[in-house]
Amino acid sequence: MDSQALGRYVLPTMEDLPRRIPRLIAAVLCTPDGFNICSLGVDEKQVGKLAALSGSLLAVGDATLAELNPATGAHAMDLLTLKAGGFQVLGVKVHKPGGHLILMGAASDTTLGVMIVGMQHVASAIERLFNGG
């Protein structure tokens, strides 16, 4: 499946994010190497940069975790959060056969718990799409 077809395939599931996360500003589903699959609330000028940054953030998180706790392995991170005042960014791995994708979302004035639950729900739904369910 090409990337445009894949984006159309996951878009209905991604569109559940604004219903689950109040004040969602943007969301990006991308490959670990920063290739955009699908996005919400992101203009054409931002999408490539945000996909690349999303992949980089989780890679840096993986490396930090591996350095601090080598027993977990270099790819153990499943979730990463960033917070600046009332603005939060959350990234989660979306597991699929043969690897993973990254779902990154940003919201203002939304609690971390609501973001985690909403993002993990949508990530799980995307995983089910890849596993035929």
- Which pLDDT score, from 0 to 100, does residue 60 have? 85
Low-confidence ranges of the chain (pLDDT < 70): 1, 72-76, 133
Closest CA to 23 of 88, 71, 91: 88
Q: What is the pLDDT of residues 93-131, one digit of tens each?
A: 999 998 899 999 999 999 999 999 999 999 999 999 988
Cα–Cα distances in angstroms (integers) from residue 78 to residues 3, 28, 36, 59, in the given order: 23, 16, 19, 11
Give the Cα separation of 113 and 36 in Å (integer).
Answer: 26
Closest CA to 3 of 41, 51, 42, 49: 51
Give the Cα separation of 68 and 65 in Å (integer).
Answer: 5
- Which pLDDT score, from 0 to 100, does residue 75 have? 56
Answer whether 32's CB lies under 8 Å from 59's CB. Answer: yes
- Which pLDDT score, from 0 to 100, does residue 62 have? 80
- Residue 45 amino acid letter: K
- Residue 117 amino acid letter: V
